[in-house]
Amino acid sequence: MSARMPYTAGWRVPYSVRAVETNGRSIANPFDAGPYARLQQAIGLLRRGTLRRDQWTERRRAVIVAAIAWVPLVVLSAIQGLAIGETASQSLLFDFGVYSRYLIAIPLLLLGERLLLARLSTILGTFANSGFLRQVDERRFDELLASTRRLLSHPAAEIGIVAIAYVTTIAINGTQYRSDIANWTNTTSDGMGALSLAGYWRAFVSQPLYLICIGAWLWRAIVWGRLLWSVARFDLVLVPAHPDLTAGLLFMSRSVPAFAPFALAVGAGVAGGIAEAVFYHGRHTSDFYATVLLIVGIVIATAVFPLLPLIRPIRLAAFRASIEYGELASRLGRRFDERWVRDRRSVTKDALAAPDFSATTDLYSITANALHIRLIPVDFRSVLTLVICTLLPFVPIVIAVLPISTLMHYGAKLLL
């Protein structure tokens, strides 16, 4: 390994430093970028000429976007008398899905970007500074970071996310709000599907905004996976005997819990629709078990799939370890056997103090780490965090439908 100029601390604070220095070259922080950065600068959601953000900027942006999605719905539905209709299911202000998607999910997705992007940048900084790269791959790695940054905010990606958001809105509109049932999105219930003013705003602004926010997270996950796929093709310097049992790459799994805001937001968006069906249309919660499991699977896949390319270098390290560490352990074991087992006369009162025993034990412990490598650099607790965050929005629904006697029974079991 050659001496390499260390990456600056800007990796750990991606919104305060836009570039890092490596071998005299300025390399843009790849995750200090993202879809619609230029648009957000143009309308004042981000500072002009920079992608740097602070907590005030993040909160202001979340409030503004949520207000754009929700406030006009209330105003337009009130104009047509649909804010509070004849029944709860016909009233916008009693629609759980509107609150969960536009007042909970959108702010979570926007505020959570700071956690995700900072975490990914920190992981890349750790990778660059920890000796995993050989000198021949250093320039390739820098070029990969630059291409990742360009790809994150590529105009084609931005247009694609918007197009998919509108196509999805049109495709699922009939399943969320049926045109043959009176609700706040329709002015009639004769099956003709005449949209109300609020219905138009939801179809052309609110729902696409919500889906665009989700799409931006999914696009970052795809780009993150593409970056790791490229990194996995490098000739990495791994340590098969590393105590993390993944040849030193387990720190990469710290990206998984950074998707917790995404998990909460997606869970909340789906939970709102399920609550609508359960409380207003008489559906049973058991009808949605498959849906909930599917959502959990999608969230886990979004966070974990980008890490799967790392199986390749870990597998190669495991193969090398099985040969090299196994051979080393066999040689030492033979010498230990010849000295202490076959020649029993050499065992004296001071034998337990001999360094051979501790040296053999230490080597076998190291070899055990090398021979028990886990191919997937993901720890169970990170995945469990995502599962809990995804399921958390469904808890109020379960509590609401359970009988009081059942709740008291479970409460007593927890307390006693």
Rounded mean pLDDT, 139-166: 90
Instruction: Label residue 352 exposed, middle or buried (CB < 10 Å: 0-12, 13-18, 19+).
Output: exposed
Phi/psi region, residue 119 (left: phi>0; alpha: psi -120 to 50; beta: rest), is alpha
> Mind giving me the DSSP string for 157-168?
HHHHHHHHHHHH
* Model confidence pLDDT, tens digit, residues 319-350: 887 777 766 766 666 666 666 555 555 555 55
Percentage of the residues of the chain whose pLDDT score is greater than 70: 73
- pLDDT bucket at 266, cuts 50 / 70 / 90: very high
Q: What integer pLDDT is reported at residue 20 of this predicted model? A: 44
* pLDDT mean across residues, the chain: 80
Helix axes 207-231, 55-79, angle to 10 degrees: 150
pLDDT higher than 80, residue 13: no
Q: What integer pLDDT is reported at residue 252 of this predicted model? A: 92
pLDDT higher than 60, residue 384: yes
Model-level pTM? 0.82
Non-local CB neighbours of 128 within 8 Å, separated by 6+ positions = 7, 11, 22, 141
pLDDT higher than 90, residue 379: no
Q: What integer pLDDT is reported at residue 9 of this predicted model? A: 35
Question: Who wins on pLDDT, 391 or 369?
Answer: 391
* Model confidence pLDDT, tens digit, residues 79-88: 988 888 777 7
Q: What integer pLDDT is reported at residue 8 of this predicted model? A: 35
Q: What integer pLDDT is reported at residue 52 of this predicted model? A: 52
* Model confidence pLDDT, tens digit, residues 215-225: 999 999 999 99
* Model confidence pLDDT, tens digit, residues 271-307: 998 988 888 877 888 889 999 999 999 999 999 999 9
Q: At residue 132, what is the residue type?
A: F
* Residue 352 tokens, joined: 């337990």
pLDDT higher than 90, residue 361: no
Q: What integer pLDDT is reported at residue 324 of this predicted model? A: 72
Q: What integer pLDDT is reported at residue 84 of this predicted model? A: 84
Q: What integer pLDDT is reported at residue 195 of this predicted model? A: 82
